[in-house]
Structure 1
Amino acid sequence: MTLGNRRRFSYSPIDRSIDIYSVKIIDILYILNNKSGMDGVDKKISRLIQSDGRISSAQIAEAVGVSVSTANERLRRLVAQGIVKEWRGVLDPDKVGAALCVFVFVDVSYEGEAEACAALIQFPEVLELHHISGPHSYLMKVRVQNTTALQQFMQTCVKPLKAVLKTETILSLEAQKETTAVKISPQSDER
């Protein structure tokens, strides 16, 4: 659709025509129409980039049915809103010397708990640290080269922390699934 020599395009599920140069109006309508922060197009884009972080804007645009500039703007907005937290490569742990995956229950005393957590998350061997319910205080996911490296890590990094009372380690024999992709809830606004 054109108006003189200025291009126009359709925006939003209500099919409003908005001047392509009126980006501020688009942002306002986007916010008003999407209280959750994500509409169907955003969710489709999010699914695509979770499965392939190197997908081009042109490929996203084609898959979602929008222009390349719209795909770029949507990606920029997803990053600005903190929905896309980071861009990174996923490495094969076996090929980089971190073949052994373990889960460690860590019991800590209240005194010094914050300091212990701050110290634990600084170690590159610690992939995840979760405050959990149940008989233990924290669950830590650790990757190291082998059991010797695990023993050294536990003795030199974890157990010397004053707040650490006890640990219990569980070795993973084989990972059936390991992913960072999260499920994106479908809603009626998806196209």
Structure 2
Amino acid sequence: MTANLDTIDLRILELMQDNARISNADLARELEMAPSAVLERVKKLEQKKVILGYTTRINPQAVQQKLLAFIFVRTNDGFGETGSTTEALSKIPEVQEVHHIAGEDCFILKIRTEDAASLMHLMRNSLKQIPKISSTRTTIVLETVKEEQTIVIPNS
């Protein structure tokens, strides 16, 4: 999906990405526009699914989610029909991201758990129950150097 975004839309996205809690009044002041015009633009960006939502970033350590792992998943049907598999993977609460990938593996999952024992439990009780999964390869992260959801916004 490509949305036609002008420089004002791009600037709104940049400002909101820097501070999702920015008030409409502050946004309008920064853009030197009327608050009603800014609000209308933000609502249009939401309707067009350019702005997908507003979230709070939580320190995983603060809520005992200390282990970060990436699991590469191979399925029996390879690059074939993956609807039921992606749906099942997406329903696992500890799975933060599911990516359909090219190469030997079919998916890469980003998973956060409390510790190695809870990761093992997830693998044995959740992943193993998905019929089309033929194998997995797990990589445990030792240190996260950079982790953010920021999107590079072109010349706003």
Pairwise same-fold verdict (TM > 0.5)? yes
Q: Which runs of 4+ in 1 moved over 6 A?
A: none
Query: Which residue of structure 1 lines up, in the alignment, with residue 109 of structure 2?
Result: 140
Query: Which residue of structure 1 lines up, in the alignment, with residue 87 of structure 2?
Result: 118
Cα distance, 1:90 vs. partner?
A: 1.2
TM-score norm. by structure 1 comes to 0.75
Which of 39, 52, 55 in structure 2 is aligned with 1:72? 39
What CA distance in whole angstroms lies between the structure 2 residues aligned with 1:153 and 1:145? 11
- Asked whether 1:84 is paired with 2:54, we answer no
- Asked whether 1:100 is paired with 2:87, we answer no
Q: How does 1:157-172 map to 2 (within 5 A)?
A: 157-172=126-141
What CA distance in whole angstroms lies between the structure 1 residues aligned with 2:131 and 2:48? 38
Which of 142, 149, 152 in structure 2 is aligned with 1:180? 149
Query: Which residue of structure 1 lines up, in the alignment, with residue 17 of structure 2?
Result: 50
SS, match of residue 129 in structure 2: coil
Contact map agreement 1:112 1:162 (CA 8 A) in 2 = no
2:13 aligned partner, one-letter code: S
Cα distance, 1:112 vs. partner?
A: 7.4
What CA distance in whole angstroms lies between the structure 1 residues aligned with 2:35 and 2:91? 39
| Identical residues among aligned pairs (%) | 27
What CA distance in whole angstroms lies between the structure 2 residues aligned with 1:124 and 1:54? 26
Cα distance, 1:70 vs. partner?
A: 1.4
Contact map agreement 2:68 2:141 (CA 8 A) in 1 = yes
Contact map agreement 1:104 1:170 (CA 8 A) in 2 = yes
Query: Which residue of structure 2 lines up, in the alignment, with residue 12 of structure 1?
Result: none
Contact map agreement 2:3 2:50 (CA 8 A) in 1 = no
- Asked whether 1:127 is paired with 2:96, we answer yes
1:94 aligned partner, one-letter code: Q
What CA distance in whole angstroms lies between the structure 2 residues aligned with 1:121 and 1:41? 35
TM-score norm. by structure 2 comes to 0.91
RCO greater where, 1 or 2, for CA within 8 Å and sep 6 or more? Answer: 2
Contact map agreement 2:72 2:107 (CA 8 A) in 1 = yes
SS, match of residue 159 in structure 1: helix
Tell me the alpha carbon deviations over residues 132-179 of structure 1, each in whole angstroms, 9 at most, x when there is no partner. 011111100001111110000000000222111110001111111111
What CA distance in whole angstroms lies between the structure 2 residues aligned with 1:57 and 1:36? 22
What CA distance in whole angstroms lies between the structure 2 residues aligned with 1:153 and 1:36? 39
SS, match of residue 4 in structure 2: coil
Contact map agreement 1:58 1:68 (CA 8 A) in 2 = yes
Tell me the alpha carbon deviations over residues 61-106 of structure 1, each in whole angstroms, 9 at most, x when there is no partner. 1212212111111111111111001112111111112121110000
